[in-house]
A = this chain, B = another copy of it.
């Protein structure tokens, strides 16, 4: 760790000690699941979505594996099988328990997982209190960001469970509604050579680095996200039945999957409803359209005579914009509308909904993975996925930044994924 990086850490530490940051994040995970029934902790509603209990255990396993065991050679795990059961995908640690079977593990129980959390937390706190080295701090910091990522997944995976249950149970109390949004307009950006990515100092994932230059042509970005009402026009204009609007893979996919609307949209007797984590509600025209796949985003954009932004167009637009918006801290767990503001400004860059970009998820020039097994964290997934930017209503505000790259496969839509339109030219 160089001086700048250490400096940055110290500045953060002035606000909050490492132990506090660590414990604060750990407690946030428990807060997210506090309202659950025991039964909700174990369900894996589809292969890509894990049970909340698994997330609670895996984020603990991460510390146990990458912090506790390397720094405390005397450590004896109470349950040696957990190393296998809660390994997500780190082949360097051994063959992981099959991802698609996570919902089959009724044991350990929720209480046993909570005990496991407490035991490992004690170990980490002891190490932090014991005068730790930089590498240990680096790993704890990574563990904190790792847990933030899984907190978002707890919300989205839980929504997939509850939102596909015929009873549509509510996770939180409030339903979100919205006033008429700011009129759709495009904001122009001049082209040129830009610096993108994360600097070496401060925390960022390896996939945000190194800083590098990209050349962009002039471009325009929509001032806000596409709304449910606008998306409904696309549906009503037979958007799901016109192959010329879709990528070939997308057209095949909606045919096989039978998709005719975003995830969580329900049509009853001609009326549209949407499942929010507060329950099933009449579709709100003025809220952002969310839970759409990249394929749907592309088809909508083509229909709207626009396109998806690239990840760097988004990042250039976000340069200097304050990170604020509708995040998980609001506990709304649903995107909110954008009303009564200037149409000439860019809104909703952060929070509300992840924004699909047309950029495939790949390594930046000079990209280096983390050393050792932690090198499996990001790099090995750099194929066939697209980058999303900006965070969502299920992202922690402290977790997001302009250089942050999220990534999912084009057909994925159980995340809070939405769409900001883009166009060529300087306007």
Binary B-proximity of A372-389 (CB < 8 A = 1, otherwise 0): 000110001111100000
Query: Counting chain B CB atoms within 10 Å of each CB, which of A193, A359, A383 scores highest?
Result: A383
Minimum CB–CB distance for A161 against chain B, Å:
6
A166 surroundings in chain B (CB, below 8 A):
81, 84-85, 97
Indicate if the CB atoms of B79 and A167 lie closer than 8 Å.
yes
User: Does any Cβ of B come within 8 Å of A391's Cβ?
Assistant: no
User: Does any Cβ of B come within 8 Å of A43's Cβ?
Assistant: yes
Indicate if the CB atoms of A107 and B167 lie closer than 8 Å.
yes
| Interface residue from B37, B91, B366 paired with A107 (Cβ < 8 Å) | B37
A110 surroundings in chain B (CB, below 8 A):
39
A104 touching B38 in the complex, CB below 8 Å, given contacts A247-B380, A410-B384: no
User: Does any Cβ of B come within 8 Å of A73's Cβ?
Assistant: no
Indicate if the CB atoms of A42 and B104 lie closer than 8 Å.
no
Q: Which of A1-40 contact B (CB under 8 A)?
A: 37-40
A91 surroundings in chain B (CB, below 8 A):
243-244, 251
A107 surroundings in chain B (CB, below 8 A):
37, 39-40, 162, 165, 167, 169
Q: Which of A135-143, A210-218, A343-351 contacts B (4 or more CB under 8 A)?
A: A210-218
Could you tell me the dominant secondary structure of chain A's interface residues?
mixed
| Interface residue from B39, B244, B248, B363 paired with A92 (Cβ < 8 Å) | B244
Indicate if the CB atoms of A106 and B37 lie closer than 8 Å.
yes
| Interface residue from B45, B167, B250, B376 paired with A383 (Cβ < 8 Å) | B250
| Interface residue from B81, B92, B193, B360 paired with A362 (Cβ < 8 Å) | B360
A294 surroundings in chain B (CB, below 8 A):
383
Which are the 9 A-B pairs with shortest beta-carbon distances?
A360-B360, A91-B243, A38-B38, A39-B106, A215-B215, A40-B106, A248-B380, A217-B365, A43-B106
- Total A residues in contact with B, Cβ cutoff 8 Å: 68
Give the nearest-CB partner of A36 in chain B.
Answer: B106
User: Does any Cβ of B come within 8 Å of A237's Cβ?
Assistant: no
Give the nearest-CB partner of A310 in chain B.
Answer: B365
A249 surroundings in chain B (CB, below 8 A):
383-384
A37 touching B215 in the complex, CB below 8 Å, given contacts A85-B166, A244-B375, A249-B383: no
A161 surroundings in chain B (CB, below 8 A):
104, 106
User: Does any Cβ of B come within 8 Å of A164's Cβ?
Assistant: yes
| Bound CA–CA A253/B417 (angstroms) | 28
| Bound CA–CA A376/B161 (angstroms) | 31
Query: Counting chain B CB atoms within 10 Å of each CB, which of A193, A219, A246, A360 scores highest?
Result: A360
A42 surroundings in chain B (CB, below 8 A):
39, 42-43, 106
Binary B-proximity of A242-278 (CB < 8 A = 1, otherwise 0): 0110111111000000000000000000000000000
Indicate if the CB atoms of A43 and B104 lie closer than 8 Å.
yes
A248 surroundings in chain B (CB, below 8 A):
89, 380-381, 383
| Bound CA–CA A360/B246 (angstroms) | 18
A105 touching B247 in the complex, CB below 8 Å, given contacts A42-B42, A215-B214: no
User: Does any Cβ of B come within 8 Å of A174's Cβ?
Assistant: no
User: Does any Cβ of B come within 8 Å of A358's Cβ?
Assistant: yes
Give the nearest-CB partner of A51 in chain B.
Answer: B106
Minimum CB–CB distance for A423 against chain B, Å:
10
A169 surroundings in chain B (CB, below 8 A):
107
Give the nearest-CB partner of A166 in chain B.
Answer: B81
What are 14 contact pairs spanning A and B, CB under 8 A?
A37-B109, A38-B38, A42-B43, A79-B167, A92-B243, A103-B103, A106-B165, A213-B215, A214-B215, A216-B365, A217-B366, A246-B380, A366-B424, A384-B410
User: Does any Cβ of B come within 8 Å of A108's Cβ?
Assistant: yes
User: Does any Cβ of B come within 8 Å of A41's Cβ?
Assistant: yes
